[in-house]
Amino acid sequence: MIAAVVPAAGRSQRMGRPKMLLPMGGQTLIGRVVTALREGGAEPVVVVAPPEDSDEGHAVAAAASIAGALIVIPRIRPKEMRHSIEIGIETLAGPTPPLHVLLAPGDAAGITRTVVIRLVEESARHPAAIIVPRRGPSRGHPVMLPWAIAAGVSSLPTGQGVNALLAGGTAPVIEVPVADSGIAEDIDTPEDYRRWQEQEPENVASTDRLEPGRAASFKPENRVQVPVMFFALARDRAGCTAIDLELAGGSRVRDLRAELARRLPGLAPLMQNVMIAVNEEYAGDEAYIMPGSRVAVIPPVSGGAGGRSPARWVELRTGGSDSP
Amino acid sequence: MIEITSSPIDHASVTERLRANHAGAVCTFLGTVRDLTGDRKTLALRYEAYPEMALKKLAELETEARKRWPIIELALVHRIGDLGPGEVSVVVAVSTPHRHEAFDACRWLIDTLKDVVPIWKRETWDDGKEEWVHPGLGDRRGGQTE
């Protein structure tokens, strides 16, 4: 079993906005990295998201979750990437840890399924080695660590990053040459992002096309379209079972409520009394609507005599005061 | 076992399946269709689910209940479709080592199920009117539809 750990808790200071949420090929950047890892054979993919009280934490967690990642939300924002990695590795520890762990920063747009598959193949041949892609003149992401070495990251001397392992003192390091697109594989600045969009549009449009040429046109998504399902009274009032709703990029559940009330006046009087589910989970008004989100309008359910609500249930699940 | 079904529920065999050597108690709750609400008479109830989410929520209920009580076996089965008076709409059953745990778990499961699992019911009254049952939506806003 090969797992992956994706640190994605950083502040995006040089980008100036949450870079994990940048649109990339019909996904978010974090979603794209998770997808490439999973399609390449990593399972589970653990994403260490920003803390709950950060502005972007919920949206990053939702985007990674949609792509199939396991989400870890630290209580406070890790100071360095190494700490995020340690948190991710810790969640993989247990009676049956993975054989290998891939480390992949959440902004490493250059990670593709093909690269991951190459590393997985190489790790089967050299199970005790650290395996790293070579992309033209430099080493790239992700880095494959045998479990014993991954588990030792927390014992590295203070101040050392995970890169210290790549010096070769701990285990042999094997490089796997991969296609080099010639542009930075991490996206740190608006300039990096612009270059991904403009110089190599096909990189942005597809996870797997590294060779330049066939230009797939890419436009940043400033609109998202999501399917919205209606149930029970909401369906009667909407007059249909589902619609496709177009929203501005970055819209939240409360924007979706307003847009539904505008589009379907029959539904408007109900809107303040229904719950909204996103991807089969009750979602608060601040939750983001992402490309690929499945939305449902949930009128109060049939029991309800106890006077409790799904919001109450959220409390129960997150360790509220209600004990048996 | 977790299930949403449009067929009648064989609650006896669900209960039977929960018996186990380590269990000192099996508690089964049946929700059944009542024919009178105040002085209004129900001819039929139609249950509708958002199946993907309902199954997910039922699975979460199981996980949460197993954290709280030493549950050996558990069954959450909900029927959907058209039901007549007296028919079984939902079965909640647990087996545990001791009876008080079985009662507590069973009660918590049915109460929480009715609050959070997206399954709705639509009444057909004997005066021909039909309406969704949506607690918390006053008559002005919700309720009666036809």
8 Å CB contact between B69 and B105: yes
Are the C-beta atoms of residues A123 and A100 closer than 8 Å to each other?
A: yes
Size of interface A-B (CB pairs under 8 A): 105
For residues A51 and A57, give the distance between their C-alpha atoms in angstroms, rounded to a whole number.
6
- What single-letter DSSP state applies at residue B67? H
- HEC assignment per residue over B92-144: EEEEECCHHHHHHHHHHHHHHHHHHCCEEEEEEECCCCEEEECCCCCCCCCCE
Strands A27-28, A173-178: pairing kind: unpaired
> Confidence class of residue B134 from pLDDT cuts 50, 70 and 90?
confident
Complex ipTM: 0.88
User: pLDDT band at residue B17, thresholds of 50, 70 and 90?
Assistant: very high
Give B121 to chain A, closest Cα distance, Å: 6
CA pair distance A5, A120, nearest whole angstrom = 15
Which residue among B60, B115, B118 places its CB closest to the CB of A306?
Answer: B115
Predicted confidence (pLDDT) at residue A236 exceeds the cutoff of 70: yes
Smallest CA-to-CA distance from A288 within A66, A65, A62, A70 is with A62
> Are A323 and B64 a contacting pair at CB < 8 A?
no
Range in A109-118, A244-253, B63-72 with the lowest mean pLDDT: A244-253
Does the CB of B46 have a partner CB in chain A at under 8 Å?
no
Q: Does the predicted model carry a pTM greater than 0.80?
A: no
d(CA A143, CA A153): 13
C-alpha B55/C-alpha B51 separation (Å) is: 6
Residues 230-259, chain A: which have Cβ within 8 Å of B?
231-233, 236
The mean predicted confidence, pLDDT, of chain A is: 81
Q: Pick from A231, A233, A237 the residue to mutate for testing the B interface (most B CBs within 10 Å).
A: A233
Q: How confident is the model at residue B49 (pLDDT cuts 50, 70, 90)?
A: very high
CB-based contact, A315 to chain B, within 8 Å: no
In the prediction, which pLDDT does A315 show?
38
| Whole-number pLDDT of residue A222 | 66
Residue B59, chain A, CB below 8 Å: the answer is no
pLDDT at position B117, please? 94
Residue A155 in this model has a pLDDT that exceeds 60: yes
- Contact status of A308 with chain B (Cβ, < 8 Å): yes
Tens digits of residue pLDDT in A104-122: 999 998 898 999 999 999 9
C-alpha to C-alpha distances, A192 to A75, A199, B1, nearest whole angstrom:
30, 10, 51
**Chain A interface test: which of B45, B53, B90 (most A C-beta within 10 Å):** B53
3-state secondary structure of A255: helix
Distance, in Å, from the CA atom of A206 to the CA atom of A216, rounded to the nearest integer, reads 9
Phi, psi of B3 (to 5 degrees): -155, 145
Q: Which residues pair with A248 in a beta bridge?
A: A223
CA-CA distance, A9 to A46, in Å (whole number)? 12
Q: Do B111 and A306 touch (CB under 8 A)?
A: yes
Q: What is the CB neighbour count within 10 angstroms for residue B80?
A: 19
Q: DSSP for A32-71? A: HHHHHHHHTT--SEEEEPPPTTSSSHHHHHHHHHHTT-EE
Q: N- to C-terminal Cα distance for chain A?
A: 38
Nearest CA in chain A to B112: A313
Location of structure tokens 């390449």: A40
Locus of tokens 């709705």: B120
Q: Report the alpha-carbon distance of residue A75 to residue A57 in Å, rounded.
A: 11
Beta bridge partners of residue B94, listed in sequence order: B27, B74
What length is written for chain A?
324
Other Cβ atoms closer than 10 A to A74: 17
pLDDT per residue over A184-199, tens digit each? 678 888 888 887 777 5
Q: Which of A274, A302, A321 to mutate to test the interface with B (most CBs of B within 10 A)?
A: A302
**DSSP tag of A103:** E
Q: Which residues of B touch A228 (CB under 8 A)?
A: none
Position with higher pLDDT, A58 vs A149: A149
Is residue B91 within 8 Å of residue B75, measured between CB atoms?
yes
Which residues, including other chains, have CB under 8 Å from residue A209's CB and lie 6 or more apart? A202, A203, A216
Residue B138 confidence (pLDDT): 53
Tokens encoding A127: 């199970």
CA angle A192, A193, A196 (to 5 degrees): 90
Cα distances (Å, whole numbers) of residue A51 to A56, A251, B32: 9, 20, 45
Mean pLDDT of A236-244: 92
Contact in structure between B78 and B90 (CB atoms under 8 Å): yes
Tokens of B142: 């919700």
A30-68 pLDDT, tens digit each = 999 999 999 999 988 999 999 877 888 888 888 888 888
Quick one: pLDDT at residue A119? 94
